[in-house]
Amino acid sequence: MNLRQVLCVTNSSRLWLLSFLSVKFLHKPTNFQRLAILLILLLLAFYLRTYRLDSQSLRGDEAATVLYSALPISQLWENSRVTDPHPPLYYLMLHPWQWLAGEEAWVMRFAGVTASTLTVAALYGLAQYTLRRLNISLMAAALLAINPLQIWLAQDIRSYPFFTLFGLLSSWALVRALRKSSQYPYRWLLYILFTFICFYIHYYTVFLIAFQGLFILFNGQKFWSKRWPWLASQIAIGLLIIPGLQLGYNFIGQAAGGIEKISTPILLRLASTALLTGFTIDDRWGLAVSLLLAPVWITGMVIILRREPTPGLFWSLFFAIPVIGVITLSIDRPFFKERFLIQAQPAFELLLAIGFLSLWQHVHRQRNTKYALRLIAAFLFALLLFANSLALSNYFANPVYAKAPPWHLFHDYIKQKAKANDVMLTNFPEAAVSYYSPNGLPFYVVPAERDRSVEFRLEQTEEIANAYERIWFLPLLNQGFDEHGDVLNWLDRHADRVNQVFFPSYNINLYLSPPAIDASLIHQPATFAHGIRLRGFQIFDQQGKSRLKPVSEAQQEFVLTLKPEDDFTLSLYWVADGPTDEAYTVFTHLIAADGFNRTSRDNQPVWGTFPTTMWSPGEKIADKYTLTIPPGTPSGNHRLQVGWYQSDTLERVPVLDKVGEPIADHVILNIIIRVE
């Protein structure tokens, strides 16, 4: 944890403590004092949610959200029907925001920050309305403000902060409408509206509707006078969500968003830890914290059910039904992510707050028991704060827990290095790669669809490669697309990889295309036995520019000046008459004027991945060998010898003249390697 993270966590703890002490020592706080404390909590929530907001690259789902939100409004419904397993309303809400503010990471994430901060205020408001306990309401809001899962999702361009916010607003509108003194139909309309919005933000709103329905049914006598408005609201909601249920049904049998099936024990462990510590903490820490704090929120649930049965049932169902529903739906099926539990989190934090305060304020115990309970409460609360601090520190500063690879690095690099007639290519439809592909640079994905044939991939790759001069390729080997690297192999064999740049978790390869090779190679045709022919050679720098200088305009000979310990990469360009019976090995030797072999590099073509037994008639192959001038090499001119041999016998493949007679066992390239 760096100094900035320590200060962030320390300030958060101090602000929470200030809020708690304000309530503790202000026996009857005024409305102004209540608002001041709430404002402190909201500022804390806002600060944590905006801290380093754009420091991490967008992950794939975030980038997909940006791309989907930019679609014409008329296409959003169709997109949710056939492509994206989420309702269209969130994208519809982001559409004008993106149009007005732009699609930069900070701007797009700020919408979720706003919703998540308002969720803290909404929890406080609903808790106060149902319980009328200021200390409980403020502590629940404080726990929600510093929760790692909430902060992670607030800084994520997805629908979950809005899903949580409108779930609270729907529940608030319902309890307002159920008041005996309420005679205002607009409250039922608000309830219908907020529930409708919540459902078309996320399909798991069905669990919210289920909890609300159970709450009404379990309190049938209490709310008997409201039975007809409630039934009418349920009919209205049912009719309104039918189109959305039809959308969701299209994805019911598949893994939404590529979610893989996980075992039931792991599912239960993730569910038990997610609401407390999120998923940016070591599994052992998260499990230990969840087990130690389980008695706290269970105590909170028991106490609120005993002391205030109606609101207690409301908050207990608010927590239990979404959690049970998500877990039940996910057992033996690929439908679980920790963030799916987020709608239950406000109720969970309230139960946790009740548990902590009950342990601390239990005045009817004997003095020793009271102090023991307070000591336990203080220890567990400190443990929770430490776990939250550790999770936030990991999220903000530890690359291991980054939500995505640093995609922006390749964007910045290519933006500086790209030239006219370059192209960007990848072999997996990762939305983040598309988002970070530099503007103005043509971008292709091969294959763009799952389970396309190898022949289709190679035909598309060849077509794209032949249309441009340089190819920036990002290899992503994902199941069902190009998992065996067929696109990568084609480029390595037929284009010329002049550079490979490594970033955390991925790399970028820069290739010269086959037409660019034909335009820049130094022709030196030579025919070897067994149908192997040399077209020519070249030595490039990392941008694809030749490093060779002609000795003179009249001579077809070139020079490269180097120093000891310098290296260079020789590109050899072959063409095949067909496959060979043996897998022959290439040798490249750097020979001094006295015939001494200074250094060499031998391997089968294309780094040993493309033996001559696999070559096709007329196929052009790009082959590369990196040589280093040995330390202490004296000044002088050196030559490059290249040829072939059979690896088991070391017998060299002869070079043939025009009539097919052997004339040598190697070719001396028209290069002078001058060591100075």
3-state secondary structure of 496: strand
Separation of alpha carbons 636 and 592, rounded Å? 8
Q: Which two tokens stand for residue 331?
A: 């057992």
What residues form DSSP beta bridges with 574? 534, 621
Q: How many CB atoms lie within 10 A of CB 522?
A: 20
- According to the model, what pLDDT value does residue 249 have? 74
- Residue intervals of the chain classified under CATH 3.30.110 are 407-515
Q: What average pLDDT does the segment 652-672 reach? A: 94
Q: Are strands 671-675 and 558-562 parallel, antiparallel or unpaired?
A: parallel
| pLDDT (tens digit per residue) in 427-443 | 999 999 999 999 889 99
| Residue 371: band (very low, low, confident or very high) from pLDDT cuts 50, 70, 90 | confident
Average pLDDT in the 345-349 region? 97
Write out the H or E segment, with its range, that includes residue 403. none
Model confidence at 555: pLDDT above 90? no
Q: What is the H or E stretch that residue 82 is in?
A: helix 73-82
Banded pLDDT at 31 (limits 50, 70, 90): confident
552 pLDDT above the threshold of 90? no
Q: What is the mean pLDDT of residues 580-588?
A: 95
Q: Is 533 exposed, middle or buried (0-12, 13-18, 19+ CB in 10 A)?
A: middle
**588: part of which helix (H) or strand (E)?**
strand 585-591
Q: Residues 170-203: pLDDT tens digits? A: 999 999 999 865 667 788 999 999 999 999 999 9
CA–CA distances in Å: residue 527 to residues 478, 534, 640 = 40, 6, 17
Span 475-521, pLDDT tens digits: 998 877 888 999 999 999 999 999 999 999 999 999 999 999 999 99
Annotate 42-66 with three-state secondary structure.
Answer: HHHHHHHHHCCCCCCCCCHHHHHHH
Average pLDDT estimate for 541-568: 89
Q: What is the pLDDT of residue 301?
A: 96
Q: pLDDT at position 480, please?
A: 79
CATH number of 521-675: 2.60.40.2550
Tokens of 669: 């390239």
- At residue 22, the pLDDT reads 45
Average pLDDT over residues 620-628: 96
Q: Check residue 18 and give its pLDDT.
A: 43
Q: Do residues 26 and 33 touch, judged by C-beta distance below 8 A?
A: yes
38 has a pLDDT exceeding 70:
yes
Q: Which CATH class is domain 407-515?
A: alpha beta
Residues of each domain in the chain carrying CATH 2.60.40.2550: 521-675
d(Cα 145, Cα 133) in Å, to the nearest integer?
A: 18
At 41, is the secondary structure helix, strand, or coil? Answer: helix
- Structure token digits, residue 209: 């509707």
Work out the average pLDDT over 529-549.
95
Mean pLDDT of 576-596: 92
First to last CA, the chain: 50
pLDDT at position 1: 45
As a whole number, the mean pLDDT across the chain is: 89
Q: What is the DSSP letter of 183?
A: -
- Report whether the peptide linkage leading into residue 611 is cis, meaning its omega lies within 30 degrees of zero: no
CA dist 402 and 657 (Å) reads: 60
Residue 619, pLDDT > 80, answer yes
DSSP three-state, residue 549: strand
Look up the pTM and report it: 0.86
Residue 369, pLDDT score: 76
Confidence check: pLDDT of 152 > 60: yes
